[in-house]
Structures are given as C-alpha cells and as structure tokens.
Structure 1
Amino acid sequence: MASNRNAARLKRATLAAALGLCFIGGVQAQTNTAGAVSGRASSGDTITVSNPATGFTRTITVGADGSFRFSQIPIGQYTVTRNGSSPRQVTVNVGTSANVDYAAASTAGGPAQLEEVEVIGTGAINPIDVTSVESTTILTAEQIAKIPVPRDTTSVALLAPGTVRGDAVFGNLASFGGASVAENAYFINGFNITNSFRNLNFAQVPFEAIQEQQIKTGGYGAEFGRSLGGVVNQITKRGTNDFHVGGNVFWSPDSLREDVRNAYLTNGVLRSDNSQDTSEEWRTNIWASGALIKDKLFAYGLISYGEQNNDTWGNNVASTNVNDNFEFPIWLLKMDWNITDSHILEFTAFSDKQENNQEVYANRPGVTERLNLVGVNIQEQGGENYVLKYTGYLTDTFTLSALIGHGEFSRSQRLRTASGLPVEYNGDITSTATGCPQIVDARPTYRQQATGVYSSTCNITNGTIDRTDSGDERDQFRLDAEWQLGDHLLRFGYDQDDYTSKAGVALEGGFQWRYTTVDPDGVANNGDEFDRARQQFFQQGATVEVKQHAYYIQDSWNITDNFIAYLGARWDTFENLNGNGESYVKISNQFGPRLGFSWDVFGDSTFKVFGNAGRYALPLTPSVAVRGASASLFSRESFNFDQTVDPTTGAPNNPVARPGTFIYLNSEDGRPKNPLTIASQNLDPMYQDEYILGFQKMLTEHFSLGIRGIYRELKQAIDDNCDYGPIYDQAVAEGLNPVLPNPGFPYCRMFNPGKDAVFVTDVEGDGILRTYAVPGALLSPPAKRNYSAMEFFVDGNWDKFFIQGSYTYAKSIGNTEGGVKSDIGQNDTSVTQDFDYLELTVDTYGYLPNDRRHTLKLFGNYEITDEWSVGANLIVQSGRPLNCLGVLDRDPNRAPGTPPIDATYDPHPYGSSFMRCNNSPVPRGTAGRLPWTQTFDMNVAYAPNWAEGLQFKIDVFNVFDSQKVTSVVETAEVPETGLPSELYLLPASFQAPRTVRFMVQYDF
C-alpha cells in the first residue's frame, strides 16, 4: 500500500483527463509544438502510450532508475498502459509533461513500490507540473470558445498575467512584461510567423483552426530567443480517424454597436464627430478533417471568408473602409503522416492574405460631412506559408526533430485618384512617387483665418506611401534533439532564420509643401507678416536582409526526486545587410545563459516553489537598413511666393527659391551609404536580464493559487544617434575640413546608448575612412528600462464551472520604451528619436507608456444545464502615465510661460519632442495619468440536445459601454512657434464601444 503522500501524488497525476483548462503558472519547455508523458514504474516494465483517434502508439522499456519519458508527443488525448494493463487517460498539452506514476520513488537500497491508483473525475483542475521553470499560460480551443473574447491572437494573449494592450497607433498588439509591442515572437506549429520587418505584425489564421495557444510571459527556455517581451505559440488542429465537417458564421451588426465617443479639444471645441460612424463585420468558416488512410495519413482543412466595413465621417478625412477576403480567402491545410510508430511527418500550409480598400473623402475637422471623393487607398497584407516537420523517435531515450519552412508577407500599397488614375511609388530611389503633393499649413490661426487653410483636395493619404512591391520572405530551418540520460534530460539544437524585406516609402506626390509665417517685428497680426513655403523631398527604397542563427543546449537535472535544476545556454548570431547586400552590423555568438529550479516541496505535486534567471537578446530589424544603411533622399528648400496657392493641389503660386536654402538632411542625397560608417564598431545587441521567483499551491482538488515575482532589467539597447558634432569637432581639431553632405559621413548612426562608441567616418568626402572614439557621455546616457511585478493567479474548476484569474501589480520605469515610442506614435523600430541628440534625453527617466500599475483579470464559464451555458470576462486596469512634450527654446532669457513669438526664438530642430512645457522641465510621466478602464464581457450559448453539433451563441463585449480614453496627443506646443498646441490631450483612442456578436455553428 502506498503512503498517503504518494497516494496524493498519484491522485494529482491522474487528473490529466480534466477539461484541458489553461495552465497559469510554470510549464517546462519540452518543445514548441508538442508535449510529453513521463513518470515512474518498475525497472523493466513496458509502458505504452496510444491515441485511438490517430493510431499513434509508442512503447518503451523502463530503465534501471525506474523513470520513463515519451518526448515530443503530438497534443491530444492518450491512453497510458503498464505491461498491457492499468490504463490511464491523460491530456497532453503543448510544452507540458503529463505525469503518470505506476511506482513510488525507490528508497535507499530498496526497490520501487507499486502505487495505488485512484481515478479522479473531470471536475478537478490540472495538476501542478513540478518540472516547470517557465511562466506560461495555455488556452485550448474548447476554453476559448467558452469565454467571451475576440477571436484573435492578441485578445487571447491579453488574458495571461503580465500582458497589457499596446497603444492603438501600433495596431492590435500586446506588451509583455513592460517590453514594447515590437519585442515579441509569434509561432504556428513551430514556425516563426513574426513579421520581422518592424516586429509589429504577424501571420494570422482564424481561431477555428487553432487547437491551443501558449503564451510565454517569462522564463522560457534556451530553445526560444529573439524576444525580450513574450512568445505566443499556436498549435493548429489536425485530422483524426473520425471524419468531421462543419462550419460557422460570426456576425457583428452595426445596429447593435454603440457610437464611439466624440473627441473634443481641451477648450471644448468639437474636433472629431463620430456619431455617424458605422462598423459591421461578418465571417464564415468551413472545415473538414479525417483520415485519408486510417491510423496513417490525416488531413485538416479550413477556408474562411469575411468582410469588415467601417465608415468614418467626422475626423480630418472621411473614409469608407472595406477589408475583405473574397479575392484572397484565408485558408489552412494541416497533414500528418504516421510513417511508422517511430517516424512522423507533418505539413502545414496557410494563407492570411487580405486586401483593404479605403475610399477617402474630403471633410472639415470636427464636421460630420462627406465632400468629394479624393481617392482610394488599397493595401495588401499577409501571404502564404509552408512548413514541413519531421519527428523521429530514434531510441527509447533519444528524439530528433527537423523543421523547414518558407513564408511570404505582402505590404503592398496602391492608390487611385477619384478619376481612376494610379498613384504609386515603384521603389526606385531615382524616381518620384506620382500624385498630388502633401500640404502642411503650420501658420498661426489668425493667418489661416485671413486666407483660409492651405490644403490639397487631391492628396489621398496626407503622408507617405509604400512601394507597390513591398513585402517580406522568411526561410527557416531548425533541428532539435532530446536525450534522456538518467537524471538528466538534455535538449539541444540549431536554429537558422533568414529574412528578406523589399521596402521603401516616399511622400505621396513626391514632395511636401509646408507653410509658415514670417513676423519681422515679432508683433502678431499687425500687417507686416508674410508667408513662406518650404519644399521637402523624402524617399527611400531597398531590398535588405537579416541573417540569424543560434545554437542552444539545456539540461533539466533531477538532483533529487523532488528537486529539478535547469541549466541552459544559447548563442545567437545576427547579421544585417543593406540594399547592396553589404553587411553593416554583425554580432556573433551573443551568449544567453538560462538558469532555474523547481522544488516539489511535499513530493506530491501539490506545492511547488520555482525560480529562474535568464538573458535574452534581440536583433536589429531589417527596417533599419532601408533608410539608415541604404540609399535615401531627404532634402529641403525654402521659397517665396505670391501669397496665393493652387486651389486644387495647395501648391504655392509662382514660387521663387531663396538662395542658399537648399540642403540635404542627414547626408541623404540619394547616393549609397558606406556600410562601415553606419554603426559603431563595438556594437552589442539589445539584451535584457530577467529574474523570476514564485510558488504554486493546490488548495483543494478544484482550486490552486500561485504568486510570482518578476524583475526585468534592460542591460543594453540599440538605437540611432544623429548628433554628428563630436566627430565633426574632433575632425576640425585634427586640421581637417569636414564635407557635408557626404554618404561616408551619415548624420545618424547605430550605437549602444551610454556606451563609448567607435565610429568610422569619411570626414572630407575623399573616400578616406578615419576612426573616432566618442565618449558615451557626449552622445547619451545609458538606456534604462526596469520592470518589476508581483503576479497573483488562480485556477479553479468544478463539474459545471471554471474560473481563471490574476492580479498584477507592476512598475515599468526608465528612459526608453524600447523598440518603438508610444509618446509620439513612432513605429520606426530600433531607430526612435529617444537618443538622437543629447538634449532629447533630458528628464526622460520616469514611468513608461506600458506602465499599468494595477491589472485585474477574471474569466470563466458556467454550464447552467446540458444545453445552456454562460461565460464572462472582466479586465480592470489603471491608466498609463502622460507627458507634456514641448520645444527646447535656446533663448535663455525667455521666462517660463512667456510666449516665444519674438525674433529671438530659436527652437531645436526636433520641435516639440522634449520633456518640457512653458520653457520648464516636465519629467517623464509626471503630467498625470489616463483614467482606469473597466471592460466586462458576457456570452450565452445554446447547444440543443435535439440537434447534436448545432450551437448558437451571443457575445456582448463591453456590456456597460465604458469608453474611457486610452491614449491622447502628448505634444503640448507648436514646433514652429513654441505656443501652446490646441491639440494637446486630444483623445487619440477610446475603449471599443459595446458590440454584439452572433454565432451559429454546426459540426458533425
């Protein structure tokens, strides 16, 4: 008879037949596509795992130490037997180990003892995985279907502790553990689907095709890299011996959607009337799965059509937006071939290509009207992906897998005028984008009132346009091995990921006209003022690459029966190539150690203490090279004109160039840049150290509680610095005559903020490269970003009710958000303006945009009867900190609060980018905070007994229609004048209004 403690441990071990609920806590990184079954039995026993649905079967013999392990088992329901009897039912989830013990641990000098088996029902929670050192949440398809949550990757990821929604300007993305939204990695069936061009997008397939989503928020193993935030790992559904076919329709009607709040200026003037906006969406999915050859060859296929229609009336432009999949339906095919019991082949193919058509109409800001059609903006996104994976169970203790994949992602953009003429940029740096110029009227209000606002009636985007052939390609190969050597579980492998991007942008119409007013005597509106126009050209285009590979090894060592030590190491190599195929940054064998432990305190899997420490590195994105390391054109010239403009284009009439005003900015004169001059010669990668300590305790068979403390410290960042002064001054001191512009003397260079830099520069434009060591103190302070958090998480499951939840208290403080800059909505990953000039770094240390001090999350489902169930999802969160961004006035005599409108006003060329207002410092995060937000969602589902497979469901999102402000304009002063900006604190986004989604589904 087993001891009470061992019996309790066995009881927990047999709970794996539970409902496949999410694991909020630690989960060992077995693999990124499968799971494992492990346990103890008597030496010489034969243990068999089998899945009747797929015919998968493996048998191994228990070793002398009494332990056994089945590695890289495809997720699903399995039967485990010992010597052909004692069957146990277990659920294998991705990245987890289902534990089945047939014997207790051997006592010193004695044999293993047989365990008593007690079968537990499905109303219990999943047992604690005591082999864990990671912080991971797993959500299954069944659970996602029961929760009122939008069916997209980010919305599901936001259910995990430590995740917050990023600013709306970057799209629907999440921040993990204080990192920026550009520092995450995304996988489907082990294939990297991150759009690495800027790390601000990823491939997506409908959730009907997803079986499990794994969200890694910290402490992940050495096999994962190239991420400082989190990892989202999705596993698709697959075919079985049972034939299934089904379909569903989701519909969110505009008639049941609440209006978005109107946006007002701080003086109460209506800026954006959203009362007439409409939004409606529908999607239908059809799928089929089954065995092409029973127990051998299986297929799962899905095709999806949908459309989203949005009408926007009361903003700066009115538009009709249609996103559809009729020309490019979303589809997925998953095939599995059990070649033998020891060899498996998997094939995944999918396409998420979409086209968005936006009709743009003219209208006045704050007025609900729709004037003439300006044009149509057509954008493509997504593409096709193909992945092949082999898994070989070569011996009882050695498993090998190999994956090869190719992915494509379109970022193409085409414009069409109201008359049907094409407007485009072909990406050739020697050509110019077609269309009407962009117009910016930066004159004082009294001048605009006198002459009318200067504008274009034919410019469609009022910004830049992407080249028509923009897109990316990824080629990935990885090899992973797992070897059980007694008390050591070794994993090691190689990962190669090459990414090519074809990219480029240009100002629509080729250039921009910017209007300002000259006031000779500094007295406003006394009749002596006149206007000037500045013409600006900007365009870039190149095909660039990033080549990266890594080696890793990790060991999970059972030092004792209830204490596991985890030791891992990873070596990453990153190389970035410019538009000419030349390497401008290469970092070899960046070392990333990973350490951890898991202590099964009582030896019965009811109480675990765990911890880990690790270093994680992030490469430069390919987007850096398109402008920073390849040929680009950026010029300005000032013009006088006859004080009238063309009523259609907004261009000045009879412009006359002012002598001596033409300049190339940043040495961007259209010539290729010398790759040796782009980055500091001692550049280190962006990397971060992380420390986690926590515990998880089963309070009852139905309820567990966990607490986790997390600390992350950014140790090194990569960004660009554009202050050429230190090099220029050194060159002059050497008796040289610097020549600017000069492609060998770029203004902006990649460096590690705060670190002494070694720059190679062609100072005199004669092709002679000279090396200059620049002290870090002359360029910027060190980059700082510290994240600390306490997470409390619960997991409860009863026969008809389950609940998951977490509360996180977190702080994110530093002088840089990371890859992007939410303060101004800058999405130039790794080349933000944070460290461009030393003056920009003053008073920037403080609470960062992703600092959400308090976050409460609760979600679950209750089965009222066999036919009816209800679900709920609650997220309560404190608001983000605010800044007051103003100009840096170089007039030391101007008193704080005095309008800088006199002739001595000399602002820094970066305009309103400084942590100061009214000529006084306003340190980061001290201008207040946005309000708390509360979102409560509910659903009700009906699955009638009279029609098996039929289901109806209604989801209501944001039941109480809470529409708090989630982001605002933080620029407080007009760049050209330093006067207060009327747009300061203008709401830029609100919580999504209440919407209703209907679903009908039939699956048989």
Structure 2
Amino acid sequence: MTLARKSNPVRKATRRTLLSLALGACFAGGVHAQSNTSGSIVGHAAAGETITVTNPATGFSRSVTVGSDGSYRFPALPTGQYQVARDGSQPRSVNVSVGTASNVDFTAASGGATTLDAVTVVGSSAVNPIDVSSVESTTILTEQQIDMLPVARDATNVALLAPGTVRGDGRFGNLASFGGASVAENVYYVNGFNVTNIVKGLAFSEIPFEALQEQQVKTGGYGAEFGRSLGGVVNMITKRGTNEWKFGANAFWSPDSLNTGTRFAYDPQRDGSYTVEKGAKTDTLRYNLYASGPLIKDRLFLFALYQGEKVETRTPFEGGSAFSKQDTPQGLVKLDWSITDNHSLELTAFKDTSETHTVNYQRTPGDLGIGGGEQIGTAETETGGENYILKWTGYITDNLTLSALYGRGEYSRGSSDTNSADCPIVVDTRATAVVGPLGVQGCWIGTGLVGDPNAGDVRKAWRFDGEWSLGDHLIRFGVDREEFSTLDGSVYSGTAYEPETPGGIFWRYSNATAGATLPNGAVVPDGVTEVVRLRYFENGGNFLTKNSAWYIEDNWNVTDTFLAYLGVRNESFQNLNSLGGAFIDVKDTWAPRLGFSWDVNGDSTFKVFGNAGRYYIPVYANTNVRLAGSELDYIEYYRFTGIDPVTGAPTLGAQIGQRFYNSEGGVPDPRGVVDNEIKPMYQDEYIVGAQMALGDKWSLGIRAIKRELKAGMDDVCDGSGAEAWALQNGYDEDQAANIRAAIDHCFLTNPGGALSINADLNGDGTLTRVDVPASAMGYPKASRKYSAVEFFVERAWDDKWFLQASYTYAKSLGNTEGYVRSDNGQDDAGITTSFDLPGLVEGGNGYLPNDRRHSLKVFGAYKLADEWTVGANLLLQSGRPINCFGVYPETGTNPAAGSYGAESFYCGYYYDDTGAADTGNGYPSYLHRRGTSGRVPWVHNLDLRLSYEPRWAKGLKMSMAVQNVLDSEDYYRVQDVADDDTGAPLSNYRHPLSFASPRSVQFSVQYEF
C-alpha cells in the first residue's frame, strides 16, 4: 500500500510567499490602484504590528499599523528604492515604480507563523511584471533599461517598444499609433500634468530626455483616472534630488559623415519607373549638464538639468533642397520638499523650446545636389515653451491619502516664411501643362498656408485626487479641469490680393467645356477651353476650450485571489468661438470601466485578467479655429490667358460669373455650425488575457483586444439629401434650399446619424431647429474596428541580461482613421475630407492606414563583461495597405464629389497588382475599395548598442549606438494618388515615400561625480 504524502499548509504558504518575492517587488499583494505619478508598497504582517518604510536617499520615513486583516499599505510613494522593516527588524530593500505596487510580506500569506525576515527583496527589472492586482495593459521602462538599449532617446521611440504600437505617418511628426487609433488620439503626462497639445493632437510638451526617470506606456484597459484618449497614455516621470550631491555631464554626437543619407524616390523620365536616391544628411550634437542634491538635508531637494542641442539637416528632393539648423536650448528644474513626514510639495519647471531656421532652394528636376539652384525663401519656426507643475501630497491617516496639482503650460506654434511674400500657390491640371507630377507651378513650397507668427497655446489645469482604503476595498476618486486657450490663424502664401487682405491666392488652372456649369454657378462661355480659379482664404482668432471630469473607482478584493475593478468617469467638454460663445457644450458623458484579475495559483505566478471600458476624447481646438472663428473664403473664375514664368501666377482674362463665398468673414452663429445633438468621439474597448511565470525570471503572456468606434466626429458638406427630404415633408422650395445651405457650408456632426440643424428657414435671421433623419443624408456611419492578439515573453534583468519579445497580429477596419488622415496626410483634426461629400465615402470601408497585420519586436541587453554591455532592438513589421485615389466620376450618384479632385476611391484606369495602368480602359472610373490595392513591403530594422563603463574611472560611461545596422531601404508608405485632377494617370503612383531612417552612428559619453 502506498501512503499519500501529507501536505504541510505552513510550508506551502511559505513557498508561495518566497516565490512571490523572488518574482519581483512589483507583484501585488493586497488591493491597490494605479497612480499616474507614484507607486505603493503593500503586504501582510501580524495585526497590530508597526511597519516602517524609509528612503535612505531622501530621509523619508513613515510608519503604519497593520490592520486587523493582517494587511498594510503605503500609497503615493515617489518612485525609487525603499527599505521596509517590521517593529525595528532587519529592513528589506524594495524598488517602487510608477503605477505599481511592491509586495513585502512578513508572515506567510495563509496567516501561518512562519516569518521571512531574512529575505531581501530586490526590485525586478521586468518590463511587464505579473501584477495580479492590475487590470491594465502597461509597459514600464526605467532610465537604467533605456540606457542599455539602442533606442532613439525620445518619448515616442520608447513607446514604440510596447506591444500594440506602430509608427505613425511621418507627415504628422514622430508619433505612435496605439491600437489602431490615429496618432492624434493619445494623451501625454509629465509628473501628473497633461501636456498634450489639443489643437490637432499632434504635439506635446517634452522634457529633456536625460531628465527622465521612468516612462509608463498604457496601451489599453486603463482605469477611470485616465481619459481624453482613444489611443494610449504616455506617462513620463522625471528625476529628483536626494541627500547626496551629484554632478554630471553627457554628450551625444551623431556625425553626418557616418549617416548613409535619407532616401527619396523620383521618376526622372515620367514613365512610371522610379529611382531611389540618397542624400539627406543630419549632424546632431546634444549635450546636458545636471546637478542634484539636498538644499536642506532630508527635507528639500533639487534636480536641475540644462540641455543644448544643435541639429543640421540637408534634405534634397526632386525639384529642390532644404538646409535647416535647429537649436533647442531646454532645461528642467525639480524641487521636492518634505514639509513633514506626512505632507510633501513638489515643483517641476521645464522648457522645451525649439527654434528652426530653414533655407529652401528650387532648381531643375533631376539636379539632386544640396543647395543648388535659386534660393527661394527662408523659414523660421518656433515650437514649445515653458511649463510649471505644482503638486501637494498629504497622508491624512493610515487609510486616507489626498493630492492636489496645478499646472500651466505654454506651446508656441509660430512661424514665418519669406517665400510667402512673392510665391502664391499654383496648381496646373490642364492637359497641356508641363509641370511636376502633382501639377505644381511657380516658386511656392510647402503647404502654401502661412500661419500666424504669434500662434500658440496656453493650458491651465488643476486636479484633486484621493485614495481611501476600506478593508477589502480601495476607493479612489478625483476631479480635474483644464482650460486650453488658442491663438491661431492662416492665409494662403503670395502677395496680398487686395490692399485690405493679409494673404495671397490659391490659383488652379483647368480645362473647361463650353456650356458647362462652374462651381460658382456660372456657365463657361463659348470658345473658352481653359479657366483659372481664384481662391482666397483667411481665418483665425482667439479660442478657449474647457474640459472637466470626475471619477470614482473601487478595487475590491472579492477573495484572496480575485480582484474586481469597478470604475466610472464623467466628462464634460466645452468649445468656445472667437467671440467667447459656446458652440459645443457637452455635459455628463458617462464612461464605465470594469475589470477583473484572478491570481489562479494564489502565488502571483499565473494571472487571468480582463476589462471593458468606454473612452471619450475632447473636441480639439482645431475645430474652434475652422468652424467658429472669423473666416473669409471665396472663389472667382476667369478666362486663362497666360502665366508669369517666375511665380506661376496667371495673367487674367475676363471674369466668368460672380464671386462665390464659402464664408463671408464674420464669426458664424454657434447654433448654425454644429449638430444640436453632437456627441464627442468615443469608443468601447474589451481586453482579455493571461500571464504566467516560468521560473524566477521568465514570464509569458497573451492578450486579445477589441476596440470599436461608437461615434465618430467630422464635418459634412452636402445638404442635397436634406433638401430632397424637406421637399417631401412639407417645406416649400425656399425653405428646403435654406436647409440645404445650412449644411453645404460644412456642418460638424456624428457622420451617419440623424442631423439636427438650426436653419434660417424664411431668410429673416430666425433660426429654427430641423431634425433630418440619417436615411435622408446618404452618409454611412463613421466606423473603425480594431482587433488584435498579442503574445509577449520576457526575462527580468539579473545583472547579466534581460529580454522582451512580442508578436502582435492585428486588423484595423473602417471608413475613418479618426481625428487625422494618414492616407492623404491631412492633419485637420476633426474636420477631414473623409465625410465632406457622400461620393468621397463610396468604397471607403476597408483596411485603415494603421493596419499593420504583423509586428514582431525583440529588445534586450546582455553584459559581456563587468565593463561591457551590448543592447539590441529588432523590429519586423508588415506594411500598411495601399489605396488608389482618383477623381469621382461624372456619371456617379454624387457628381459634386468630382470637384475635390483626386480624393475619391475611384481611379480613372484599371491598375494591376504592380500599379501599372491599363490606359485602354479609360473611363468609367473603377472603384478600388479602401486598402485593397496592395501592401507596402515589410519593414526590417536592427539597432545595436555597445556600452563601456571602465573600472579605472568611476562615473564614466561611453557607448556607441548604430541605428538600422543593415541599412535597409524599407519604406512606410507609397504614393496613393493614382490620377491627377483631370483623371489622367500619374507616373509616380505607388512610388515609395517615407523611407526608414538610414544607418547612423551615435557616440555618447557621460561623467558623473
């Protein structure tokens, strides 16, 4: 007979606790919540015992009494290394990271008497530790980890290491897309202060990177504390001073002589082939001086850093080149004052100003030298500004912690361009035009829009947060409010058209047919075959955007191994026009957040989790500028007679018809530009996953994610459907025409839904509410669906090596990317061309630009010897889908869409898989549904870093990092426009654009004493 081995419950509990500790201090014990600036220490001990936590580096010390349930908690601890002791026993060392809880138990978790005083807990360097008390999808990278990796030293490139992130379109800057959302839908924090620029969502205030202590990246499932984002959260925590004075300096140099040159493609013969050229070179020098230490020992600490950077870039392209110099004098000061052991105050001040001077040249296409040809203008650009953040934290009782924050930030968007004075925008779409591949004439460069040189923004924000521990419940709550003031405006480049106007003209030349009706209502006279369209545009003003929210959440330990998360966030959004009147005023949006975490084995080695949530995003200030500012926009038509050979501007013949106004220069009535029932853009998200420990250092996991846009927001500019509906429902012809006019000037709404407008029905200035059903408008509902499965594995740093690898399979489908459009480079947040006319949406449902089906990321570091460490970063990622944009056909159901030029999903010719045009087919146009015209090839990128820390010179570090070691010629997008505005095929369709960064070498040296 075989005797069964009897289980020892005390020994089992002891093994559980030892394993939990060995897996890393970030494993949670007891209920806790995630903070956006600090971490916590939790654990178990005998009821009534005193637990003391200290930070030797700052002298911070605090004690609590263990509760009757045997648990204790130290919330709202600044990140860093701490020691934890029970009743004066030998302390244990533990690391605290932002948004996580470090677990230190002094008794067996089952309540047995076994103690573990001999165990020393050392913080794990795992990127995604198994935190059984969190339902979020989070990646944390510390300064020490980043220093070992060959990753570019900025917030976006660090965020791109996380699963579920992809690089955004380069025309929007260096930004990441999270979970299929556009790059304009993320939120960025510095020490708890929202630094996102919400004019277009494409900028944020950045700290000098060497001041970064930790960066937290939330890719999904984040709690009710966080909002105003449909993409992800990038949370940056800065360094702080300690009781030890330290001084240091470092420098990072990337010489252009070791840079192989950014590539660009052009078609020298205009025959559909293309040549890839190298040439763009960048020489970068960044240096930092810093100091940290105690102004008053144990009480008042300083960290201060100054950063200087000089960047010189030489960029050739087919028809010209640009030489730019960028100077970025930046700095950060952090003061931390421990007023008492229970109250602290911290002040962060930083400046991220960047000034760029650019000289532009134009020359004969094909001459690819730098600086050759005629200088056609200079540009001066300034971005960034000063930011101040003041935060108080108070430990009111052992169970109640409160905090309050106030912040103010400035961001300049000023620019000036000498080219704008003499060079108007000119596009020639005539069949006889002899111009560049996109119809460009004359000397204008860039977008042709000249911004207000004083453009900029100021954010003022405050928030109040609390945390209250009640047995098995941890209640967190808070309220916040921000005001974002914007000064903005723009005009077309060129000499002032009339003395009273500040800007120039956008000229367009096109063929015409006698008897045809022009967009201004005039008829083309007999004998006229070529016409000139004149368009004048100016807008601007001062605008205010107000956002407020409150939240409450409960982290409930239902059992010892099962955590339930229940939260709700309530947000309100208000946008004011340039006269101070509210044109958007949305109150009480409800965003529930639910989740669970199941510690399956009860020892933090196997976690199953899930969450569901609703997320809203504010109406960006760009909408204020475009829809609620003073705007003058009109067109005129003339007979074509000739062209100025220098500027490309026309010599005008007789005018055809009268001036047609899109906007007459005043500030529109706020009731007439926005749907009465408009909802901010929002989406629902669902995540389920599991994570398992494999021994002391390894873990692996899987997540399934689904995101669905529930309400999009954009403008519609076609009221023909509403007019037809009105005629069928009792309105007379004049009233129906006025209903149409209320929409035709472009009207902000939730596309695809019913429309509630205020129309001047009788032409007497009295606005009357009219509700138009969705079926009458002819627009589909805005749609974006993202689904993905993420696999990830990692090994924690053990003073020898660490590794993280992730593979993501994802799909992003719909008819809108979101706030911006990557397929045509439009950054007009919230007011893109996507839904302007019904014809532009035909075929628009398909694979979206951020659909990267496969992504494999591997990064880590290995210590070769005591003094040498090597780091690597590998990316393999499939390409984005390709579109085929052309002119909407005259025979279509919405002929007016043809006035937008090559903006529809119809191509005038049939294209095979290689992009070759079968010109024998001609019209009618072929519908090529979104994302079905092929894929951009895969991107393959390998970066390496070698670091040396000599024993003979303590405090000295040297390294060499090589980006794109294999110098791959991969690219991120192609030319999606297949036809010109006349419907003729363009020779550069599917040509590569936005090449991967070339191979470059960066040397760095740092000395600290």
TM over 0.5, yes or no?
Answer: yes
Q: CA deviation at 1:317?
A: 3.0
State which of 903, 912, 916 in structure 1 corresponds to 2:902: 912
**Partner SS state of residue 10, structure 1:** helix
Q: Is the 8 A contact 2:320 2:368 kept in 1?
A: no
Is it true that 1:48 corresponds to 2:33 in the alignment? Answer: no
Q: Is the 8 A contact 2:240 2:334 kept in 1?
A: yes
Aligned to 1:313: 316
- Counterpart of 2:660 in structure 1: which amino acid? I
Q: CA deviation at 1:991?
A: 0.7
Q: Is the 8 A contact 1:815 1:845 kept in 2?
A: yes
* Further displaced range: 931-940 or 365-374: 365-374
| 1:511-530 superposed matches below 5 A | 511-518=505-512
| 1:203-602 superposed matches below 5 A | 203-265=205-267, 274-325=277-328, 329-369=329-369, 370-416=372-418, 434-444=421-431, 446-448=432-434, 455-457=441-443, 459=444, 461=446, 463-509=448-494, 510-518=504-512, 531-602=530-601
Q: Deviations over 1:841-863 (max 9, x none)?
A: 21211111101111111111111
Distance between the aligned counterparts of 1:805 and 1:626, measured in 2? 44
Q: Deviations over 1:55-85 (max 9, x none)?
A: 1111000111111111100000000001111
Structure 1 residues 906 and 74, CA, compared in 2 at 3 Å: closer, same or farther?
closer
| 1:728-743 superposed matches below 5 A | 728-729=723-724, 734-735=731-732, 737=734
Distance between the aligned counterparts of 1:453 and 1:231, measured in 2? 41
Distance between the aligned counterparts of 1:650 and 1:64, measured in 2? 83
- Counterpart of 1:143 in structure 2: which amino acid? Q
Q: CA deviation at 1:461?
A: 4.0
Distance between the aligned counterparts of 1:123 and 1:219, measured in 2? 23
Distance between the aligned counterparts of 2:890 and 2:675, measured in 1? 30
Is it true that 1:719 corresponds to 2:675 in the alignment? Answer: no
Distance between the aligned counterparts of 2:10 and 2:393, measured in 1? 39
Is it true that 1:57 corresponds to 2:61 in the alignment? Answer: yes
**Partner SS state of residue 647, structure 2:** coil
Q: Deviations over 1:890-915 (max 9, x none)?
A: 2369xxxxxxxxxx998721221222
| 1:959-974 superposed matches below 5 A | 959-974=965-980
Q: Is the 8 A contact 1:969 1:986 kept in 2?
A: yes
* Further displaced range: 543-552 or 831-840: 831-840
State which of 92, 98, 102 in structure 2 corresponds to 1:98: 102
Distance between the aligned counterparts of 1:120 and 1:380, measured in 2? 48
Identity %: 47
Aligned to 2:813: 813
Residue correspondences, number: 956
Q: CA deviation at 1:871?
A: 0.6
Distance between the aligned counterparts of 1:913 and 1:568, measured in 2? 43
**Partner SS state of residue 379, structure 1:** strand
Structure 1 residues 892 and 793, CA, compared in 2 at 3 Å: closer, same or farther?
closer
Q: Is the 8 A contact 1:858 1:874 kept in 2?
A: yes
Distance between the aligned counterparts of 1:990 and 1:454, measured in 2? 23
* Further displaced range: 739-748 or 280-289: 739-748
Q: CA deviation at 1:731?
A: 5.6
- Counterpart of 1:321 in structure 2: which amino acid? S
Structure 1 residues 66 and 113, CA, compared in 2 at 3 Å: closer, same or farther?
farther
Distance between the aligned counterparts of 1:619 and 1:453, measured in 2? 37
Distance between the aligned counterparts of 1:267 and 1:344, measured in 2? 67
- Counterpart of 2:441 in structure 1: which amino acid? S
State which of 931, 938, 943 in structure 2 corresponds to 1:925: 931
- Counterpart of 1:948 in structure 2: which amino acid? K
Q: CA deviation at 1:127?
A: 5.4
Distance between the aligned counterparts of 1:716 and 1:453, measured in 2? 37
Q: Is the 8 A contact 1:241 1:290 kept in 2?
A: yes
Q: Is the 8 A contact 1:494 1:552 kept in 2?
A: yes
Q: Is the 8 A contact 1:179 1:818 kept in 2?
A: yes
Distance between the aligned counterparts of 1:309 and 1:951, measured in 2? 26
Aligned to 1:184: 186
Q: Deviations over 1:707-729 (max 9, x none)?
A: 11111111111111111223444
State which of 984, 987, 993 in structure 1 corresponds to 2:989: 984
Aligned to 1:525: none
Q: Is the 8 A contact 1:785 1:814 kept in 2?
A: yes
Q: CA deviation at 1:449?
A: 7.9
CA RMSD of aligned residues (A): 2.6
Q: Is the 8 A contact 1:226 1:619 kept in 2?
A: yes
**Partner SS state of residue 625, structure 2:** helix
**Partner SS state of residue 644, structure 1:** strand
Distance between the aligned counterparts of 1:891 and 1:127, measured in 2? 59
Is it true that 1:81 corresponds to 2:85 in the alignment? Answer: yes
**Partner SS state of residue 876, structure 2:** strand
Q: TM-score, normalised by structure 1?
A: 0.91
**Partner SS state of residue 199, structure 2:** coil
Aligned to 1:70: 74
Q: Is the 8 A contact 1:262 1:275 kept in 2?
A: yes
Q: CA deviation at 1:443?
A: 2.2
Aligned to 2:856: 856
Aligned to 2:788: 789
Aligned to 2:757: 759
Aligned to 1:700: 695
Distance between the aligned counterparts of 1:785 and 1:131, measured in 2? 31
Q: Deviations over 1:760-791 (max 9, x none)?
A: 12245421112221111333111111111111
* Further displaced range: 315-324 or 926-935: 315-324
Structure 1 residues 127 and 154, CA, compared in 2 at 3 Å: closer, same or farther?
closer
Structure 1 residues 764 and 795, CA, compared in 2 at 3 Å: closer, same or farther?
same
Distance between the aligned counterparts of 1:707 and 1:305, measured in 2? 42
- Structure 1 alignment gaps of length 5 or more: 418-422, 424-433, 523-527, 894-903
Q: Is the 8 A contact 1:10 1:117 kept in 2?
A: no
* Further displaced range: 656-665 or 781-790: 656-665
Structure 1 residues 892 and 250, CA, compared in 2 at 3 Å: closer, same or farther?
closer
Q: Is the 8 A contact 2:402 2:464 kept in 1?
A: yes
Q: CA deviation at 1:455?
A: 3.4
Structure 1 residues 588 and 521, CA, compared in 2 at 3 Å: closer, same or farther?
closer
Q: TM-score, normalised by structure 2?
A: 0.91
| 1:110-189 superposed matches below 5 A | 114-115=115-116, 117-119=118-120, 128-189=130-191
Distance between the aligned counterparts of 2:446 and 2:961, measured in 1? 35
Aligned to 1:825: 825
Q: Is the 8 A contact 1:736 1:764 kept in 2?
A: no
Q: Is the 8 A contact 1:673 1:743 kept in 2?
A: no
Aligned to 2:890: 890
Aligned to 2:17: 10
Q: CA deviation at 1:6?
A: 2.4
- Counterpart of 1:364 in structure 2: which amino acid? T
State which of 916, 934, 940 in structure 2 corresponds to 1:934: 940
Distance between the aligned counterparts of 1:212 and 1:468, measured in 2? 35
**Partner SS state of residue 145, structure 1:** helix
Distance between the aligned counterparts of 1:742 and 1:678, measured in 2? 13
Q: Deviations over 1:681-719 (max 9, x none)?
A: 111121111111111111110111111111111111111
Q: CA deviation at 1:28?
A: 6.8
